[in-house]
Amino acid sequence: MLLFTMCAGMFLVQLDVTVVNVALPTLGTDLHADLAAQQWVVDGYTVVLAAFLLTGGALGDVFGHRRVVLTGFGLFGAASAACGLAATAPVLVAARAGQGLGAALLLPGTLAVITNAYPGRAERARALGVWAGVSALALAAGPVLGGAVVTAAGWRPVFWLNVPLVLAAAFATWRLVPRGTRAPGRRVDVAGVVTAAPALGAGVYAVIGGSVVAAGVAVVALAVFVAVERRAPDPMLPLDVVGRTLSANFVSAAMNFAGIGAILLLTLYLQGVRHASPLAAGLEVLPLFGPLSVLAPVAGRLTGRFGPRPLMVAGLALGVLGMLNLVLLKENSGYAALLPTLLGLGVGMGLLTTAVVTAAVSGLPSERAGVASGVNNTARQAGGALGVAVLGAVAGAPGPGFVPGLHAAAAIAAALWLTAIGVTLARVRTPCR
């Protein structure tokens, strides 16, 4: 029940990554929002989520993950209601940022609670397989649920539906997750919190908006953050944690860069080029999410037995083949031409997700579970935000030049995953059985 409850919290966070995608054309028309504004409806959530995940993980390590997760649910639910009431695109983007802040508080806690509840390597990998499977189920449910709701009732109920789900998940968390106590001798690294958020947030914004000022802010904030963490008696992010998980977290970022970015590309192609309805587009991407949902728990068992590296390499290789198939797509291609991409990404990420999360959180002490999960989730969410921004900008808006742009975006994603294969082979070690 504890595992199920934590998966429910993560389900809501992941659901809101993709549920909005199929609603973008409809809300864009309703709110008079251009493609850039529609991208910010997605990235307003993911940028703030990426910026504050480290903070959420560190606060959970100090104050107890149950307390921080419940606070995150409260913020997420209130912001979801605000999204449903938004009258303009800027208000909607601001409310999405509020959702991202709530998600940043609760997401690291869900992974930390699971990590602490299953200390053995094999059982932890199996539990993370369930966690990843539910995450994939949320990604799969997002386009279908969003498409059905948008078709039946418009885009606003997409956000209102979160409110009762949040209330149920928060009640279950309050009843089932151990209360926990404040960690003795631990304290909040205020200087780290103050410098980490602008470093991460401005860095992602600089790539999305092409802002030189934001890039400068990110560089300065990052330099200050590293200096602060080197001198802090109880740092929010011990630098040895970064060193021990750097390779796995790079692969995590690459995974979401291509995976979440591809969801946007496929949505734009299906609705903008093939003129599919929101519901039809949601159903047509199910071959991507179905294998991801089914294979993640299986991959957890295989990771527990063989270690993460073999599954990471296999998953990345299948994803590369899927993205290269996208390079062959034409404006008049049938749906069958899209299936190899959907299946390649779905099966590839199904094998990859559990393995890369296991590689990122294993081998660290339990008192750093929140930080370890925060770093991994930061890498994943930042990668997803950058994928939406970069691949969306390369492909452009649906129109005469969209398909050539789609080919270029797919080539970029494939090259990044090929690099991730090299990093995995060189740096990710398979532990002895």
Least confident of 43-52, 400-409, 410-419: 43-52
Q: Which residue has the tokens 């946007």?
A: 264
Q: How high is the pLDDT of residue 432?
A: 45
CA distances from 39 to 12, 92, 274 (A): 20, 12, 20
Q: What is the pLDDT of residue 13?
A: 77
Give CA–CA dist 339/85, Å, rounded. Answer: 37
pLDDT value at residue 279:
74
Q: CB-based contacts of 92: which residues, under 8 Å, 6+ apart?
A: 27, 31, 41, 44, 83, 86
CA dist 149 and 139 (Å) reads: 16
- Percent over 70 (pLDDT), the chain: 91
Torsion of CA 7, 12, 14, 15, to 10 degrees: 130
CA–CA dist 358, 340 (Å, integer): 27
Q: Both tokens of residue 127? A: 């539990």
Q: What's the confidence (pLDDT) of residue 369?
A: 62
Distances from the Cα of 115 to the Cαs of 66, 105, 109, 129, 243, in angstroms? Answer: 14, 17, 10, 12, 20
Give the pLDDT mean for 71-88. 92
Q: Is 411 exposed, middle or buried (0-12, 13-18, 19+ CB in 10 A)?
A: middle
DSSP 272: I
- Cβ(138)–Cβ(353) under 8 Å? no
Q: What is the pLDDT of residues 382-414, one digit of tens each?
A: 788 788 778 888 888 777 788 899 999 999 999
Q: Other C-beta atoms within 10 Å of 220: how many?
A: 14
**Distance in angstroms (rounded) separating the CA atoms of residues 26 and 19:** 13
Distance separating alpha carbons of residues 132 and 59, to the nearest angstrom: 23
**pLDDT confidence band for 180 (50 / 70 / 90):** low
Question: What are the start-end ranges of the E strands in 155-289?
Answer: none
Helix axes 212-231, 190-209, angle to 10 degrees: 160
Which amino acid does the sequence have at 93?
V
Span 185-239, pLDDT tens digits: 667 777 877 887 788 778 777 766 677 888 898 899 889 988 888 887 777 777 7
Q: Using an 8 Å Cβ cutoff, are 261 and 18 in contact?
A: no
Q: Which of 99-113, 142-156, 276-290 has the highest mean pLDDT?
A: 99-113
User: What per-residue confidence (pLDDT) applies to 184?
Assistant: 59
The predicted pLDDT at position 182 comes to: 58
Rounded mean pLDDT of 321-349? 89
In sequence order, which residues have a C-beta less than 8 Å from that of residue 108 and are 6 or more positions away? 53, 56, 57, 60, 65, 370, 373, 374, 377
> Within 13 Å of residue 363, how many CA atoms lie on the same side as its CB?
18
Spatial distance between the Cα atoms of 15 and 142, rounded to a whole number of angstroms:
5
Q: Provide the pLDDT for residue 417.
A: 94
315-334 pLDDT, tens per residue? 999 999 999 998 888 888 88
Is it the case that residue 418 has pLDDT exceeding 90? yes
- State the DSSP code for 274: S
Determine phi and psi for 122, rounding to 5 degrees: -70, -45
Alpha-carbon gap, residue 407 to 221, rounded angstroms: 36
Q: What is the pLDDT of residue 433?
A: 45
- Angle separating helix axes 121-153 and 239-268, nearest 10 degrees: 30
Instruction: Compare 249 and 134 and report the one with higher pLDDT.
Output: 249
Tell me 433's DSSP state. -
pLDDT classification of 422: cutoffs 50, 70, 90: very high
Predicted local confidence at residue 414, as pLDDT: 93
Q: Which CATH architecture has domain 2-188+236-427?
A: Up-down Bundle (1.20)
pLDDT at 370 over 70: no
CB 366 within 8 A of CB 119: yes
CB 300 within 8 A of CB 132: yes
Please give the pLDDT value at position 409.
Answer: 92
Q: What is the mean pLDDT of the chain?
A: 82
What span, in angstroms and rounded, lies between the C-alpha atoms of 424 and 267? 30
pLDDT per position as a tens digit, 122-152: 787 778 778 777 777 776 677 677 778 887 8
Q: Provide the phi-psi class of 363: left if phi over 0, else alpha when psi is between -120 and 50, else beta.
A: left
Report whether 115 contacts 361 (CB < 8 A): yes
Alpha helices in 64-156 (DSSP H): 65-85, 89-117, 121-153
